[in-house]
Amino acid sequence: MHAIVGPEELYRRNGLQHLPFNTVFQLAAAAAAGELDDAEQLLLIPDLIGWWATGRRVAERTNASTTGLLRVGGADWDHDLLRRLGLRRDLLPGLVDPGATLGPVAPAMAAEFGIAHELRFAAVGSHDTASAVVGVPMTHPDAVYISCSTWSLVGAELPSPITSEDARLAGFTNEGGVDGRVRFLKNVMGLWLLSESVRAWEKAGEQQELGSLLKQAAEAPADVPTFDANDPSLLAPGHMPARIEALLVAQGSRVPASIPEFVRGVLQSLANAYAEAVRDIDRLTGGSVRTVHLVGGGAQNALLCQLTADTVGVPVVAGPVEATTIGNLLVQARTHGLVSGDLEALRAVAARSFPPRTYAVRTRTRG
**CB neighbours of 6 closer than 8 A, spacing ≥ 6?**
none
- Is residue 365's pLDDT more than 70? no
Dihedral pair phi/psi, residue 206, rounded to 5°: -100, 90
Helix (H) or strand (E) holding 248: helix 240-250
Do residues 281 and 156 touch, judged by C-beta distance below 8 A?
Answer: yes
pLDDT on residue 141: 87
The catalytic residues are 128
Tell me the DSSP string of 128-197.
HHHHHHHTS---STTEEEEEESSEEEEEEEESS----HHHHHTT-EEEE-GGG-EEEEEEEE-THHHHHH
Distance CA 298, CA 294 (A): 7
Q: Across the chain, what does the average pLDDT equal?
A: 95
Q: Which of 74-78, 175-179, 272-276 has the lowest mean pLDDT?
A: 74-78
- Is residue 367's pLDDT more than 60? no
pLDDT in tens, 332-363: 999 999 999 999 999 999 999 999 999 999 98
Distance CA 314, CA 292 (A): 7
Classify burial at 269, counting beta carbons within 10 Å of its beta carbon; exposed 0-12, middle 13-18, buried 19 or more: buried
- Is residue 188's pLDDT more than 90? yes
The residue-averaged pLDDT of 136-148 equals 95
Do residues 99 and 331 touch, judged by C-beta distance below 8 A?
Answer: yes
Question: Is 69 in a helix, a strand, or coil?
Answer: coil
pLDDT in tens, 30-62: 999 999 999 999 999 999 999 999 999 999 999
Distance CA 130, CA 329 (A): 12
pLDDT in tens, 245-260: 999 999 999 999 999 9
Question: Is 96 in a helix, a strand, or coil?
Answer: strand
List the domains of the chain with CATH numbers: 7-122 (3.30.420.40), 128-367 (3.30.420.40)
Q: How confident is the model at residue 73 (pLDDT cuts 50, 70, 90)?
A: confident
Question: Is 254 in a helix, a strand, or coil?
Answer: coil
Q: Is the CA virtual torsion 41, 47, 53, 54 positive or negative?
A: negative
**CB neighbours of 51 closer than 8 A, spacing ≥ 6?**
43, 57, 58
**CB neighbours of 81 closer than 8 A, spacing ≥ 6?**
5, 13, 14, 24, 69, 71
